[in-house]
Amino acid sequence: MLDGGVEHLVVVEPPRRPVGIVSATDLIGVETHSPLALRHTILRAAGEEELVGVAARLPQLFLSLLDVGLAPADIGRVLTLQLDSLTSRLIDFSIQRHGPAPAPWAWLVLGSAARRELTLGSDQENGLAYASDGDSVDEYFALLGAEVSIGLSRCGFQPDANDVVAANRLWRLSEERWLEVFAEALDTPDRSNLIRATVAFDFRHGGGGLEIVPPLVQMLRTAPGHPDFVRRLARTATDFKPPLGFRGAFVVERAGEEIGTLDIKRGGIIPIVNLARFHALAHGITISATIDRLVAARDAGGLEEEVAGALIEALGIVSRIRLEHHAAKIEAGEQPDNLIDPSQLPPVARLELREAFRSITHAQKRLGAFVPQGR
């Protein structure tokens, strides 16, 4: 219901005999911390102050979802829908303040939110596209991007550390320039363009009426026809190594405030995301969600069934441990982070994490078929 934007569902008995109707209002009344209740409250917020207050309920929603045993992938989708709702309302507020946009536009959701894999430890990553160029047009959208970014920060989602936000001119471009950026990444895959591709190629439409997504998706379908891009993208899929050392020992920080910990996002989540992106784009697959990419690459014959299954299982393990760590931080009154102390994990979880890291390492080594040694 959240994802489809519907208010009612028909309840059926086999073989599909209708027996009743459940409404969003019915479900909202069942649980005050339900995703439906929170989304309705967000979309009805009268101003930014009220919106910030509503967003403060997100940690409790997250804890409730984790407590009932919802799968990490489903938790990510629910949290992403809440972020989408917050963004939509902040866009509304900005337009109310400054008047209608001077040109058709589209808000682009990037990064983990584009893949619908958001956590409460995720940054905001977004961009803007608009139909015509010119300083006066960009001034309006610069203000829109800045106000939405500030609002999302107040709601608990800080800007990406590399400033991948619509307030940044690099990520606020005309429709024509966005198409050029995608073409440059495919045609001239130097380090700068590859870095941009790993961010921009995970995208989806998040608001506005500009039809920018279809032409961008069409360009991604041509990726297999750019062998240099495919080879170099394979290299980026091995940039982040799982923190596993000799004989399977965890590699942890040896000094400083992070001593004894490992970054589970950098060493576990990002490598799988990068592998899935590579295998998808190498076969012209344009969906963004990591699991969907792995399944589609497997079905297209571009990824062995055993490797795809191992990566999907590894993502589930790493994500669950990460979310449980986030929950512990929230319950302790602290900000969620990605620094795990493996010695504090239960024995079974330690074993699972070690095997997940081994699966990632194995999948990365197999990319040698795409990137011959010495090239």
pLDDT value of residue 20: 80
Residue 290 and residue 175 in one domain: no
Residue 216 and residue 292 in one domain: no
pLDDT value of residue 2: 60
Residue 310 and residue 359 in one domain: yes
| Total domain count, the chain | 2
Q: Is residue 62 part of a domain?
A: no
Beta strand extents in the chain (DSSP E only): 8-13, 17-23, 105-110, 126-130, 172-174, 203-207, 262-263, 339-340
Q: Which residues of the chain have pLDDT under 70?
A: 1-7, 22-33, 369-375
pLDDT value of residue 34: 82
Residue 154 and residue 249 in one domain: no
Residue 173 and residue 254 in one domain: no
Distances (CA, A) of 159 to 125, 195, 217, 288: 7, 17, 25, 21
Compute the Cα dihedral for 343, 356, 293, 369 and give only its sign: positive
Cβ pair 365, 330 in contact under 8 A: no
Residue 154 and residue 232 in one domain: no
Residue 78 and residue 213 in one domain: yes
Q: CA angle, corner 198, sides to 196 and 203, nearest 5?
A: 95
Residue 191 and residue 215 in one domain: yes
Q: Is residue 20 part of a domain?
A: no
pLDDT value of residue 3: 58
pLDDT value of residue 375: 44
- Tell me the sheet residues that pair with 110: 203
Compute the Cα dihedral for 71, 287, 206, 186 and give only its sign: positive
pLDDT digits (tens, 9 = 90+) for 140-198: 999 999 999 999 999 999 999 999 999 999 999 999 999 999 999 999 999 999 999 99
Look at residues 196, 220, 244 and tell me which one is the last residue of a structural domain.
Answer: 220
Q: What is the CATH number of the domain that holds 296?
A: 1.20.120
pLDDT value of residue 230: 95
Residue 76 and residue 214 in one domain: yes
pLDDT digits (tens, 9 = 90+) for 226-260: 999 999 999 989 999 999 998 889 999 998 889 99
Cβ pair 360, 353 in contact under 8 A: no
Q: Is residue 27 part of a domain?
A: no
Nearest one of 84, 162, 153 to 118, comparing CA atoms? 84
Predicted structure pTM score: 0.89
| 161 CB neighbour count, 10 Å cutoff | 7
Look up residue 243 and give its DSSP letter.
S
Q: Is residue 28 part of a domain?
A: no
Residue 187 and residue 303 in one domain: no
Q: Is residue 316 part of a domain?
A: yes
Residue 188 and residue 236 in one domain: no
pLDDT value of residue 127: 97
Cβ pair 9, 22 in contact under 8 A: yes
Print the domain residue range for 171: 71-220
Query: How far is residue 301's CA from residue 283's CA, in Å, rounded to a whole number?
Result: 9
Residue 237 and residue 199 in one domain: no
